[in-house]
Structure 1
Amino acid sequence: MREPIATPGRASRRDYWNVWLIAWPVILSNSTVPLLGAVDTAVMGHLPEARYMGAVTLGATIFSLIYWGFGFLRMGTTGMIAQADGAGDGDEMRAALGRALLIAFAVGLAILALQLPILWLALWIYPASAGVEELTAGYFLVRVWSAPAVLANYCFLGVFIGLSRTRAALGLQVWTNGVNIALDLLFVVGFGWDVKGVALATVIADWSAMLIGGWMVLRMVRGETTGIDWRRIFEPTALRRTFSVNGDIFIRTLCLTAGFAYFNAESARFGDVVLAANAVLMNFQHILAYGLDGFAFAAEGLIGRAIGRRDLAAYRVAVRATTVCAVAVAVLYALFYGLFGPLLIDLLTDIESVRGLARDYLPWVIVSPIISIWSFQLDGIFIGATQTRDMRNAMILSLAGLVVAILLAVPPLGNHGLWLALTLFMVVRAITLWRVYPRIGARIG
């Protein structure tokens, strides 16, 4: 659905329906992500030694951390593309994509050039047995060659979301995972290439997705002129804005990552059983994020285009429609966790001590959807508005609040204090963004 919501006044049924049409492909696409990891684990799990599975798990964790930091390529591209589309400026839309791709390929080539120091640092941070480290190195040195393609795909995903073409994003995700799974089976089961086969399957899948995604994006943003307008791409003001937006989101993402890393580190201090129980419950939070991302992504595209058109009525309707849908789904998540949470815990672990402890802390996860939805939704609104400096500052304050909350709540309350601190982290994220939220409407007006 490329056309922005334009209904004046209150959101209509059509507005809510448009939101669902944009959101459901994202939700379905996100749900396929764990499938690939499950297939990798299953393929490695049938090899004779556990070190193969450990190496793939460790290698995948390293790449997740590397690429997580560059998620700004997706988020920054979304807001800029949506606003350019709303303003009817096709030249700027193509230039915005060009700037994002320049950054993506520059960072990708830097990762390739620094692959050995990155590998050394990663293995220093995540020490393992000699056998696992040797296999992890083999996996890493193959998979690293997909870095430019992965980062370019982030830019293409930003275009799809900015234009609300989320079905294209779903199709590309299904293609990537399908190719990856098929080649996993061929290279490992068929050819016996163990961890390097898994890595090579990912490399081929990522580069094929980049080629197909690039073709799809060019069809969406092509104009009457052909060729690359380098002067528009390197226009100083626009280039500075691109770096500013991406830099703000990068800092914001680092703070968010640091917050969850601190939570996990504090979990480990309570011992193996508490660490495992918290890890089980964090899966609930990840599932929640996968589901609610669809409405945040819908908000990014719709709000960005409303701002590009300087249409305050469309902006307000987009905020209302996406938020109402997101809150409704958050309530359903809370009810689902309340009814089936113990069953989900039992599916995730067979260890009775972990099961019992996870049930003790389950109430924190049950209330999490109702509390987390506001920060998720505000993130989508601010990304669509490219109001990234406010996002950065809000996340810095939220991280500071999390640290203080853990220091004050954990000594008297133990692990309950840790979950209380994480809950307050979500509350502070929402409050700090809500305080500056009126600036977006004032900017449009």
Structure 2
Amino acid sequence: MSWLGDSWRHRPTQQRVWALAAPMILCNLSVPLVTLVDSAVVGHLPHAHQLGAVALGGSLYTLLVWAMGFLRMGASGFSAQACGSGDGALLRQVLLQGLLLAGALALLLGLLSLTFTDLALRLMNPSAELDLLTRSYFHIRLLGLPAALANYALVGWLLGTQNARAPMAILLTTNLLNVPLTLLFVLGFDWGVAGAAQASIVAEWSGALLGLFLARHALRRFPDQINWPALRRWVNWQPLLAVNRDIFIRTLALELVFFLITVQGTRLGVATLAANALLLNGLLLTAHALDGLANAVEALCGHAIGARDKLALRRTLVVATGWSLLFSLAFALLFWLGGQAFINLQSDIDTVRAVAYAYLPYLALLPLVSVWSYLLDGLFVGATRAREMRDAMLLAVALSVPLAFALKGYGNHGLWIALLSFMLLRSLILGGYAWRLTYRHGWMTASRPGY
């Protein structure tokens, strides 16, 4: 096993991984910061249903936006491979395809959103006050949807070119700008729940405008011209659309899990809904930090696959795995030892705090169980192996949902046990697919949009 030690000690690989991972960890941690700030600010307003509305409305908006996560992942994998092969024209094609898809999907989702909101809230059956505030928050947030989807395409494309500074600038602008705006709109102007939504809109559009400027600047590193006739041919959209379709199905299945958690939490009462929202902020914090390393895996593994460099692929995986394990252990200790302080930071509502304290051990276990799925997702995205990601997710959901129904009698404990089981199954199944591709030497065979 000396190759493990040699790969871990390979200084150039360590430097390349951290040149991408460090900025992405920093800006990824700013993503849950938005939710944490919204929860902390609104959580200090007088009524629990105000915090519940932000949690519920935010979940509905996130369900729409995260379902479009393939815009980032597809752009990242394909642009990384184009960069690895030195194809400037293909890089331009991937960028334009991503932005066109983002615009079309924002329009479609905007038209479907009213029906979606009605169906979701009927299923959850919230109180009248919670229903009204949730609809208000959600409908205001929709004004930022085109910018949010464009940011996905821009961040993914820039990351694939192994440019971590530009995605960091976009995400930090979007997410850190949200903090003072939320404080100003909610507490300063006394706009309440609507103010939190309006702050997010301004921040999302600011990030999108910056992203367009940075993408134009980044193209100077890859001198070439876009092949316009190729862009008009359907055959050159098929690989990208096929990968995006499979990632979309995979993301919908993942969102279904968290949507069901929200639905069941709502049925268990407003205090449980709010407490679960605070706890899931911890999962968001963990996921976005570990995704920084997964983002590095996407870019570097995609680049290695585009260049057909098996040694670079192996070294990247060893280095990223080692650091991911260390980070997951650190988060587990953080939530085990400092979980109550984490909850107290977000809310001073005693009933919500008391419920959240009881479920902190589950939160402490989550990083250790879920770390593998984040890491493997990065590998599969970089390899544009979306079909395996889709199948692994569908199988994990199919096994976990019946378990969740069987545990309904255990209340919120059953809900958290089902979530841990889902994360474990997802990691194991993805690991099985990864082993099979390694055994069959299948990583170097990737689909690419052509001309």
TM-score (normalised: structure 2): 0.83
Pair 1:73–1:273, CA change in 2 (3 A): same
Amino acid at match of 1:217: A
Of 29, 54, 70, 2:27 maps to 29
Q: Which amino acid aligns with 1:442?
A: G
Instruction: Please report how far the alpha carbon of residue 210 of structure 1 lies from its aligned counterpart in structure 2 after TM superposition.
Output: 1.6
Correspondence for 1:434 among 428, 431, 441: 431
**In structure 1, what is the Cα distance between the partners aligned to 2:345 and 2:40?**
17
- The 2-side partners of 1:202 and 1:356 are apart by 29
Residue pair 2:396, 2:426 contacting (<8 A) in 1 also:
yes
Aligned to 2:64: 66
- State the alpha-carbon separation in 2 of the partners of residues 141 and 414 from structure 1: 31
Q: Is the 8 A contact 2:140 2:194 kept in 1?
A: yes
Shift of 1:243: 1.1
**2: CA distance, partners of 1:368 / 1:247:** 28
Give the letter aligned to residue 200 of structure 2.
Answer: T
Tell me the distance in 1 between the aligned counterparts of 2:344 and 2:202: 36
Deviates more, 1:52-61 or 1:150-159: 52-61
Q: Cα–Cα, structure 1 residues 208 and 337, in superposed 2: closer, same or farther, change >3 Å?
A: closer
What letter matches 1:386 in structure 2?
T
Pairwise CA distance, 1:168: 1.9
Structure 2 CA distance, aligned partners of 1:335 and 1:382? 29
**Percent identity between the two aligned chains:** 40
SS of equivalent to 2:162: coil
Runs of 5+ unmatched residues, structure 1: 1-6
Partner of 2:421: 424
Separation in 1 of the partners of 2:155 and 2:359? 36
The alpha carbon displacement at 1:52 in A equals: 7.0
Partners of 1:348 and 1:147 lie apart in 2 by 26
Shift, 1:377, TM fit:
0.8
> Residue 432 of structure 1 aligns to which amino acid in structure 2?
I
Structure 1 match to 2:88: 90
Q: CA deviation at 1:74?
A: 0.8
Q: Deviations over 1:97-119 (max 9, x none)?
A: 11111111111122344454455
C-alpha distance in structure 1 between counterparts of 2:151 and 2:42, whole Å: 27
Query: Given residue 102 of structure 1, which amino acid in structure 2 is its aligned partner?
Result: L
Name the residue aligned to 1:205. 203
- Unpaired runs of 5+ residues, structure 2, are 446-451
What SS does the aligned partner of 1:164 have? coil
Residue 386 (structure 1) aligned with residue 377 (structure 2)? no
| Structure 2 match to 1:371 | 369
- In the alignment, which of 309, 317, 320 is matched to residue 319 of structure 1? 317
Q: Whole-Å Cα distance in 1 between the matches of residues 384 and 211 of structure 2?
A: 24
AA paired with 2:256?
A
Per-residue CA distance 1:282-306 (angstroms, 9 max, x = gap): 3332222122111111111111111
1:403-422 equivalences under 5 Å are: 403-408=401-406, 416-422=413-419
- Shift in Å, 1:44: 6.2
1:166 partner letter: A
Paired residues in the alignment total: 437
Map of 1:43-192 to 2, 5 A cutoff? 58-114=56-112, 116-121=114-119, 123-125=121-123, 140-184=138-182
- State the partner residue of 2:444: 444
Q: Which stretch shifts more, 420-429 or 120-129? A: 120-129
Deviation of 1:325 after TM superposition, in Å, equals 0.9
Aligned partners of 1:219, 1:110: CA distance in 2, in Å?
30
Deviation larger for 285-294 or 358-367: 358-367
Q: Is the 8 A contact 2:383 2:443 kept in 1?
A: no
Q: What TM-score does the superposition give when structure 1 sets the normalisation length?
A: 0.84
1:208-287 paired onto structure 2 within 5 Å: 208-222=206-220, 223-225=222-224, 228-266=226-264, 278-287=276-285
Per-residue CA deviations over 1:137-176 (Å, capped at 9, x if unaligned) read 5555554333222211110110122123222222222222
Tell me by how many angstroms 1:130 deviates.
5.9
AA in 1 matched with 2:423:
M
Could you tell me whether the CA contact under 8 Å between 2:32 and 2:285 is conserved in 1? no
In 2, are the aligned partners of 1:296 and 1:322 still within 8 Å (CA)?
yes
- Which range moved further: 104-113 or 72-81? 104-113
**Structure 2 match to 1:3:** none
- CA 1:174–1:235: 2 relative to 1, 3 Å: same
Question: What is the rounded CA distance, in whole Å, between the counterparts of 1:353 and 1:254 in structure 2?
Answer: 32
